[in-house]
Amino acid sequence: MPPDQAFYLERWKRRMIAQLGEEGFREYSLNIFRQGKLFHAAIEDTLTQETSSKEDHECPAEVSGYIESVSNVLNDITGVRAIESAVHHSALQYLGIVDCVAQYRGSLCVIDWKTSEKPKPFLRQTYDNPLQVAAYIGALNCDHNYNYQVENGLIVVAYKDGSPAHTHFLNSEHIMPFWEKWLLRLEEYVEK
C-alpha cells in the first residue's frame, strides 16, 4: 500500500477507535468482514441457482439490502465461468481469489463485488480496487487452469440500504494503466 493510502487508512482507523473504542472497533471490523462474506455467498447462490429469475432468491436478512442494491446488475450478468476461484500468475509469483468471471452486457469480465457504506459513483473512489481487478485479470490470463482470456473488469459497489449499486466497467484500454501500476507495486513489494 502506498504511504499516502496507509496514512489515510490509519487516520480513519484511529478516528473509528476514538468513536467506538478498541473493542467496538474490533466488533465493527468483524461485522464488516462477516457481512462481506455473507454478501459474496449470497451472490454466489444467486448466480449458480437453477431457476431463471435472479430476483426471487432468498438471502440472509443482513445482506438483503446489498442484494437489492445489485439486483439490476445481476440482470446484466450471464455466462458465469468462475465464482470465488483461485488464480495464479506463475511468472510473477502471485495469486488471488477472483470473485466472478462472467459476461456483463456481452463482455467477458473479471467482476469484483464490493460493499460500501458511502456512495462511490466515481472510479477514483474505489481506491486500489482497479489494481486488484487488473492483477486478477493478469493472473487468470497466465493461469493454465483457465482456457480463456479476459480483457475487461467490472467493479460493483453495493450498498446496505438497497440503493442502486455503482458499476465501474474497465475495458482493456482502461485496465492497462492499472496493470502497469500493479506491476510497479509488485516490483516494490518483491524488492522489500
Active site (catalytic) residues: 99, 112, 114
Do 178 and 131 meet the contact criterion of CB atoms below 8 Å apart?
yes
How many angstroms separate the CA atoms of 91 and 33, rounded?
31
Residue 132: HSE in the Cβ half-sphere, 13 Å Cα cutoff: 17
Cell (9 digits) for 38: 455473507
* C-beta neighbour count of 66 within 10 angstroms: 28
* H helix intervals, the chain: 3-48, 64-75, 129-142, 172-191
How many angstroms separate the CA atoms of 152 and 15, rounded?
36
**Sign of the C-alpha dihedral computed for residues 175, 179, 181 and 186 taken in this order:** positive
